[in-house]
Structure 1
Amino acid sequence: MLEERLNSFEPEERRSALQELAALAKGGTLPIQPLTGAVNVHFHTFFSFHYLDWSPSRIVWEAKKTGLDVAGSVDFDVLDAMDEMFEAGEVLGVRTNVALETRVFAPEFPDWEFSSPGEPGILYFMGTGFTRLPEPGTSAAACLDAMRAGARARNEDMLERLRPTIAPVEVDYEADVLPLTPSGNATERHMLAVLDTKARAMFPDEGRLAAYWSERTGLSQGEVGKLLGDTAKFRTAIRSKLMKKGGPGYMPPDPAKFPQIRDVVQMIRDVDALPCATWLDGTRRGEADPDALLDWFLDMGCPVLNIVPDRNWNLSDPVDKAVKTQKLAEIVAAARKRHLPFSVGTEMNNYGQKFVDTFDAPELRPYAADFRNGGYILYGHTLLQRACGMGMMSGWARDAFRGDRTKANAFYLEVGLTAFPPKDARQTLYDMPRDASPKAILGRLCGC
């Protein structure tokens, strides 16, 4: 019951439940695993879409229970999880990080596919290591506001295009979809959940329900019938048929409706966060040359690389698996050569995705240390930026490391490993002199 209260849309109820769970854990009433060496800094929360409806507090609690070394949130187009991630991390003693994901347009490559299949010029893109919101009235604030508004406009356009197809089922965006979110940031998957629920209510007979969906998707009634009992597979199939390329709700992306990638990079830099290169699986033109891809991202000022490892090795088709595990090896090698830390995780914004990567799988074992260290580096940056403005994008870091990513990564990794528990570490660093050396900072953290 306490854990379910962590998913309440009421912040005070989540906060109260978290405090109770923290007390039970501290008293030994609830079992807590020791740290495992695993990290996941790519959890979507219910501020965009988490398939189990987990809040930031719930994510941090699950990380505490299972011994994750670092836990990080990622939400589409908003930073609504940020304060709660930090607060929960300090209450429970969990290293945390906050990131944002969006879709952007790359005007340099309008005809190339990157990480958004079938959508030339459009990329999924991220910023990570956020510690604050943009100041009101700034260009960064306008950019972030436009991202939220643009996502909503695209959703509402999609719903309008779907109306003739889904009739007689009716979906009201304001009344039906937005209440599924705590802060009004709905996604395609929220719309899909409403559509699924309303269709089941209108057609309680499974045969009629299968006929309804068969007529609208082109799937046979038998195929639909087999899927109806598995929410994950059913909604994935319906989304593919109705909302993705070729479906009635799909509209080819209009570059004018997406922010340009360099504008988003600037917004991220304006709040001293880390623009984050992204990579899907290396099979499309924009990702075919990992060296060229990462050099392009670096030229824009992106010092971190995001990967979702599970979709590049945990595959049933042996040919597909062979191709993508090789592509994974290539992008990791290219990132290592450029001394880029990694941001990795499992997302949990699609049904059935696992809680944490299987780092001891033979396919991931060669990279496990890189991926774990990336989580620690992001936490080290976050802690120093929150405590005393000395994160990786700060003027202090530019002066201290003069563009040497190897030295910077080693320092923030050591901070990430040493600065624990988070609340005590932040207080220790709060009054650090702004001209302190990296050695002095590490000395204070270890009490030397």
Structure 2
Amino acid sequence: MIRSDEAKSLETELNSNDAAIRRRAVDKFAELCRNGEIECTPENFDHNMHCHTCYSYNGYGYSPSYIACLAKRNGWFAAGIVDFDVLDALDEFLSAAAKLNVRASGGVESRAFIQELAHEEINSPGEPGIAYHLGLGFSVSDVPPSQQLFLLEMRRQAHRRTRGIAALVNDFLAPAGLDFTADAVRLTPNANVTERHLCQAYREKAEKLFPTSEARSAFWAAKLGVSPEKAAMLIDTPVELEAAIRSKTMKKGGAGYVAPDPKSFPPIDRMNTFIAASGAIPTIAWLNGFSSGESDPGRLLDLHIAKGAAMLNIVPDRNWNVSDPEKQKKLIHELDRIIAACKERNLPVVAGTEMNAPGQKLVDDFSHPALARHLELFVDGAALLSAHTLLGRLGRGYLSEWAKNSFADTAAKNQFFARFGRLVTPEKFRSLRTWPGSPAEMLALADKL
């Protein structure tokens, strides 16, 4: 069995800033698993289809390679990555997952404008008409030429927004202002700086400027508008300090907050065109059902479906895991409502924790009653997404012409993709050079592998 110091060294290599080191570490991890020197939990129904990586922001600094290894070691049924505005982690993650025989998917998350809800808050608090939205199940990061400009512009717009926030917050947090490149870009592997990176950079800058805890507490007390005692508690807990910085400076009312201009975000129809044309699945991001835009699940889903969405993503932990019993009851009620509405429409559902803030779970507690009753639905969604990712390379993805011509209705299509995804791992998929043409023949063959 691998020694603890060797395991720690391997973990460091898997999260290295050097992609070549990460690739070699994955190969080493795979060999140690095969030799039994790393004990891997038998496959179970745990899964996380919404893991942000270090290419946007991961709360634990995890690379795409590390997330694949995490899934393998813990026996996850499947794993999926999602990054803000870029597909930079996709190829590495799918390659690592294939080496480890982990069902996998990769996607992108951004914000889009929904004209029909222009005056209603949806899933981006305080920002009417603006919706977080996802594309899941990309097979490769090299999107078609017709969509490359859209992907590039997503990156550019995110970069401009974050630079603009930093410029405003720099004045407010002077003298702890940032040199954007030297202080923030260095925290990312490919310059995709997010608000959370900025918060980390501001915390680290203040630590350099004010080396004593007394001076640092005084600085943050003044800037955050809290007592010196509260500031002292915050600097002892970096996670909470960074959250306080973000809340005070970057959220509505903060010095770095810029009210969203619909012109700064693509219309959701255009984003869905990009996603579908790139072989992925336009996916609704659902928050909690409390906003005006999410208050009527049927209306919300029908609007999205009319614009091309074909899947729903939820972050279940925030939909039940709160200390207030009354709020928990309301959250669970809304969770059940949106899932019931999805079932009525044969809309697949995928689940994940995000991992884009320290403290978020690595995997959901699917044993909790609020989630346990939906576990089969979640696993079907993960299986469907894995099958779509594998079959997309053959031109047989979930929204492909092949799929349109092969199934009588969405229910039949969902049943096939979920079944195929449950039966076929990446290793089994590679074991055949060709697959038969009909869904029935494919399932019959998959059942024998």
TM-score band by shorter chain is over 0.9
Secondary structure class of the residue paired with 1:411: helix
1:426 counterpart letter in structure 2: R
- Write the distance in 2 (CA, Å) between the matches of 1:78 and 1:293: 26
The reply on whether 1:187 has 2:208 as its aligned counterpart is no
Compared with structure 1, are the counterparts of its residues 427 and 62 closer, same or farther at alpha carbon in structure 2 (3 Å cutoff)? same
1:70-114 CA-to-partner distances (Å, cap 9, x unmatched) read 000000001111111111111111111111100111122211100
Which ranges in structure 1 are unaligned for 5 or more consecutive residues? Answer: none
In the alignment, which of 17, 26, 49 is matched to residue 25 of structure 2?
17
Cross-structure match for 2:422: 417
> 2:360 corresponds to which residue?
353
Is 1:79 equivalent to 2:82 in the alignment? no
- Does 2:206 align with 1:199? yes
CA shift, 1:136, in A, is: 6.0
> Counterpart of 1:401?
407
On the 8 A contact 1:278/1:305 being kept in 2, the answer is: yes
Deviations 1:320-361 (A, max 9, x none): 212111111110111111111111100110110011000001
Question: Equivalents in 1 of 2:143, 2:410: separation in Å?
Answer: 29
Give the equivalent residue in structure 2 for 1:441.
Answer: 442
What residue identity is the alignment partner of 1:413?
A
1:370 to 333, 353, 377: 377
Question: What secondary structure, in the 3-state scheme, does the structure 2 residue paired with 1:296 have?
Answer: helix
CA distance in 2, matches of 1:443, 1:278: 34
% identity of equivalent residues: 39
Letter in 2 for 1:90: A
Cα deviation for residue 425 of structure 1 reads 0.8
In the alignment, structure 1 residue 431 sits paired with structure 2 residue 434: yes
1:48-447 matches, cutoff 5 A: 48-133=56-141, 135=143, 137-138=145-146, 140-386=147-393, 388-402=394-408, 404-420=409-425, 422-428=426-432, 430-432=433-435, 436-447=437-448
Q: Distance in 1 between matches of 2:345 and 2:26?
A: 40
Q: Give the Cα separation in 2 of the matches to 1:23 and 1:372.
A: 28
Contact 2:79-2:104 within 8 A present in 1 as well: yes
Deviations 1:281-318 (A, max 9, x none): 00000000001101111111111100000001000122
| Range that drifts further, 223-232 or 390-399 | 223-232
**Distance (Å, rounded) in 1 between the aligned partners of 2:253 and 2:323:** 25
**Partner-residue secondary structure (3-state), 2:370:** coil
Contact kept in structure 1, 2:171 and 2:177, CA below 8 Å = no
Distance in 2 of aligned mates of 1:216 and 1:438:
61
Q: Distance in 2 between matches of 1:207 and 1:423?
A: 57
Output the amino acid matched with 2:416.
Answer: F
Moved over 6 A (4+): none
Letter in 1 for 2:98: E
Q: Deviations over 1:27-86 (max 9, x none)?
A: 011111001211110000001000111111100101111110000000000111111111
Residues in 1 aligned to 2:249 and 2:129: alpha-carbon distance in whole angstroms: 22
CA contact (8 A) 2:203 2:241 kept: no
TM-score calculated relative to the size of structure 2: 0.96
Structure 2 residue ranges without an equivalent (≥5): 1-8
Return the alpha-carbon distance in structure 1 between the equivalents of residues 213 and 448 of structure 2.
Answer: 66
Distance in 2 (alpha carbons) for counterparts of 1:66 and 1:133 = 27
2:10 is aligned with 1:2: yes
Q: Displacement, 1:163?
A: 1.8
The CA distance in 1 between the partners of 2:141 and 2:35, in whole Å, is: 36
Deviation at 1:444, TM superposition (A): 2.7
**TM-score of the aligned structures, taking structure 1 as reference length:** 0.96
Letter in 2 for 1:302: A
Contact 2:122 2:293 in 1 (8 A): yes
CA–CA separation in structure 1 for the residues paired with 2:181 and 2:124:
28
The 3-state SS of whatever aligns with 1:42 is strand
**In the alignment, residue 287 of structure 2 is paired with which amino acid?**
L
SS of residue matched to 2:282: strand
For residues 219 and 236 of structure 2, what CA distance do their matches in structure 1 show? Answer: 16
Shift of 1:133: 3.6
> 1:5 touches 1:14 (CA, 8 Å); kept in 2?
yes
> Which amino acid in 2 is paired with 1:238?
I
SS at match of 1:168: coil
Distance of aligned partners of 1:406 and 1:185 in 2 relative to their CA distance in 1, 3 Å threshold: same
Query: Using the alignment, how far apart are the partners of 1:176 and 1:423 within structure 2?
Result: 42
Q: Which amino acid aligns with 2:121?
A: E
Q: Which amino acid aligns with 1:425?
A: F
Question: Partner letter of residue 38 of structure 2?
Answer: L
User: 1:363 aligns to what SS in structure 2?
Assistant: helix
Q: Is the 8 A contact 1:307 1:344 kept in 2?
A: yes
- Give SS of 1:364's match: helix
Looking at structure 2, the residues matched to 12 and 444 of structure 1 have their Cα atoms a distance apart, in angstroms, of 37
Cα separation, 2, equivalents of 1:137 and 1:92: 31
Q: CA RMSD in A?
A: 1.3
Give distance in 2, aligned partners of 1:274 and 1:66. Answer: 27
- Match of 1:395, as an amino acid? E
Q: Which moved more, 1:127-136 or 1:367-376?
A: 127-136
Q: State the AA in 2 paired with 1:349.
A: N
Q: CA deviation at 1:431?
A: 2.7
Q: Secondary structure at the match of 1:97?
A: strand
Q: Deviations over 1:358-412 (max 9, x none)?
A: 00012211111111111011001111112x110111100000014x111011100
* Cα 1:135/1:225, change in 2 over 3 Å: closer
In the aligned structure 1, how far is the partner of 2:275 from the partner of 2:361? 29
Q: Distance in 2 between matches of 1:378 and 1:280?
A: 20
Question: 2:49 is paired with a residue of what secondary structure?
Answer: strand
